[in-house]
Amino acid sequence: MKCLLWLPLFPSLILMPLLFASPNSEPVQSFHPNSSPPATTIPAFPEQSDATGCPLDLPNDLFTSVKSACTGKHVSGKLRRSRCCPVLAAWLYSAYSATALSKAVKEPLQTASYYDLPLLPNDSETCIDNLENGLKSKGIELMRSNESCDVVYCECGIRLHPLSCTEAFSVNPRGELVGNHNVKMLEKDCLNNPAVNGFSGLDGCSRCLKTLLLLNKSNHVNGSKSEERTSKIHNEDCEVMGLTWLLAKNSS
């Protein structure tokens, strides 16, 4: 059952469609990356720590959905962002989920000073290039308004970068990324079954969204501009990390 979650993550991205997963008797409690043990130090610029690429999981359903939503133009000749962007965001975060969570294991702690740095575009650019190359291999080319504005970042405001949400996620002694009680509630409310504990339709979506917003407790209402910026970025990180956790559990 399709669920439309209202997500204030990006100025141009209002709705993100997610599909509730089928019942699963074995809930996710840890994430095991297919990588080396977690690093003991954090690179000065995490986005540049892996310049070799951005592994994405690109199933056939992704190509079908993105082609349907993003290759046709509006009668005005422009990209239909309200149709394309939510579909593209949902599938791209699903494709990126394993990579994002693996990086969270390698770089588990990011301090407030990290958020004061400008967000470098390398991760987004590498991942977007990989996505576009994958689409082109299937004969799919995303429509652009002009050559200088790509669809993923410029048109839809989708940005990929290493995530951190220490309030909800941590790395255990075995090198596994694990979630706290709020993450387990998130799994229960969003992945349990199509009825979501008896709440169907928008009621179920609302319950899922409220649980997602509980992942981060940071709130600088009357802080400085720097503190407000740090809090905003961190809040978004926690929300996106919660989504990638769910998508890693069930990408459909």
Task: Evaluate whether residue 46 is within a structural domain.
Answer: no
Q: What is the pLDDT of residues 144-167, one digit of tens each?
A: 777 788 888 888 888 887 788 888
Task: Check whether 222 has a pLDDT greater than 50.
Answer: yes
Task: Evaluate whether residue 110 is within a structural domain.
Answer: yes
Task: Evaluate whether residue 39 is within a structural domain.
Answer: no
pLDDT band at 108 (very low <50, low <70, confident <90, very high): low
Task: Check whether 107 has a pLDDT greater than 80.
Answer: no
Task: Evaluate whether residue 234 is within a structural domain.
Answer: yes
pLDDT band at 235 (very low <50, low <70, confident <90, very high): confident
Task: Evaluate whether residue 229 is within a structural domain.
Answer: yes
- Report the mean per-residue pLDDT for the chain: 70
Range of 194's domain?
2-20+51-249
Task: Evaluate whether residue 163 is within a structural domain.
Answer: yes
pLDDT band at 221 (very low <50, low <70, confident <90, very high): low
Half-sphere exposure of 231 (CA within 13 A, CB side): 12
Q: What is the pLDDT of residue 27?
A: 42
Residues 6 or more apart from 222 whose CB is under 8 A from it? none
The one-letter code for the residue type at 200 is S
Residues 6 or more apart from 155 whose CB is under 8 A from it? 12, 79, 81, 84, 85, 144, 145, 149
Question: Three-class SS of residue 73?
Answer: strand
pLDDT band at 192 (very low <50, low <70, confident <90, very high): low
Q: Which of 172, 211, 165, 164 has its CA nearest to residue 190?
A: 211
For residues 17 and 92, the model is more confident at 92
Task: Check whether 9 has a pLDDT greater than 80.
Answer: no
Ramachandran region, residue 10 (left: φ > 0; alpha: ψ -120 to 50; beta: rest): beta
For residues 173 and 218, the model is more confident at 173
Q: What is the pLDDT of residues 44-60, one digit of tens each?
A: 333 333 434 688 888 88
pLDDT band at 184 (very low <50, low <70, confident <90, very high): very high
For residues 211 and 182, is the Cβ–Cβ distance under 8 A? yes
Task: Evaluate whether residue 36 is within a structural domain.
Answer: no
For residues 16 and 145, the model is more confident at 145
Average pLDDT in the 168-175 region? 86
Q: How many domains does the chain have?
A: 1
The one-letter code for the residue type at 94 is S
* Helices 122-137, 81-106: crossing angle, 10 deg rounding: 120
Provide Rg for the chain, Cα atoms: 18
Half-sphere exposure of 193 (CA within 13 A, CB side): 6
Task: Evaluate whether residue 16 is within a structural domain.
Answer: yes
